[in-house]
Amino acid sequence: MQNWIIIICIILAALLLLAVACIIALFLLLAIFYVFAVKGRRNKSMEHLKTWKYAHRGLHDAEKPENSMSAFEAALKKGYGIELDIHLTQDNELVVIHDHTLDRCTDSTGTVEEMTVAQLQQCHLGGTQEVIPTFRQVLELFDGKAPMIIELKSTGKNYAELTDRVMEELKDYNGDYCLESFDPNCLKHLKKNYPDVIRGQLSDNYLKNKVDHPLHLRFAMTYMLANFMFQPDFIAYRFEHRKNLSNFLIRKLWKMYSASWTLKNQADYDTAVSEGWIPIFEGFEP
């Protein structure tokens, strides 16, 4: 009887050790997957772009609204690059405005994607007489004089149409630029159809700043777990939420380029630059 008890104990101990070994192996596999999941590509074309300071939505103030021609002109005159936001209109044109709706930025209401470019250019920005510019107007203004970080503002399932139209406008443009988006579908489309274009994944801590997505998607977006599929050349992360393991691995292990938004004072700017982030600033001049 004692022999059977000993045998059973040995079997149970072996099974326990096997279970522990399986758990450790699974943990190691998940850790390895995680390390490689956040890896993008390191594109040397970013070298020139990283030497600039970028005015978020142009160099705007009370007289020069965000994403306006006057804000872009001011940035250009001061020697800054710009970050700007692109939407696709109902009539397949491209306009520069941040929000999908008009309420905050203009004296009108409505949804950008449901209006024509002619209708949108009747809307005045920020209590001024300035109107929503087209992407073509901004390209003509910059004409290669300073680089642009172009955010693709997709909505619904228009990511392919939006990306294609932006690339159509950029086809003969000789200046420096890169494209970025919160929507991984935009990066997927760029990777497949425009692999040589510099592309960036925008991100934030979606576990703190909750969006209308399931928890697992917010987790994946926060920690950029789709990078291995869509291979961004850089990441652009909210400054306040930048300290997480994924950003450490992306920047220190994989040596990817990274931009920090939005830097709203000199102290944050100095911190971001000292840490090696490409600065995107607003509300002051560094």
Q: Which residue has the tokens 């560094």?
A: 286
User: With 90 as the cut, is the pLDDT of residue 211 above it?
Assistant: no
Pairwise CA distance, residues 111 & 60, whole Å:
23
> Is the Cβ–Cβ distance between 149 and 142 less than 8 Å?
no
**Total Cβ atoms within 10 A of residue 185:** 17
DSSP 240: G
Quick one: tokens of 189? 């489309």
Stretch 132-158: mean pLDDT, rounded? 97
Please compute Rg for the chain using Cα positions. 23
User: With 80 as the cut, is the pLDDT of residue 1 above it?
Assistant: no
Closest CA to 282 of 74, 112, 141: 74
Q: Which residues are catalytic?
A: 56, 98
Q: In the chain, what percentage of residues exceed pLDDT 70?
A: 99
Q: Model-level pTM? A: 0.93
Q: Which parts of the chain fold into alpha helices (H)? A: 2-37, 46-49, 69-78, 117-120, 135-142, 159-170, 184-193, 215-222, 227-230, 245-248, 266-274
User: With 80 as the cut, is the pLDDT of residue 162 above it?
Assistant: yes
pLDDT on residue 17 = 84
Q: Quick one: how many helices (H) and strands (E) in the chain?
A: 11, 9
User: Over the stretch 109-125, which tens digit does the pLDDT of each residue have?
Assistant: 999 999 999 999 999 99
DSSP 282: -
Domains of the chain: 38-281 (3.20.20.190)
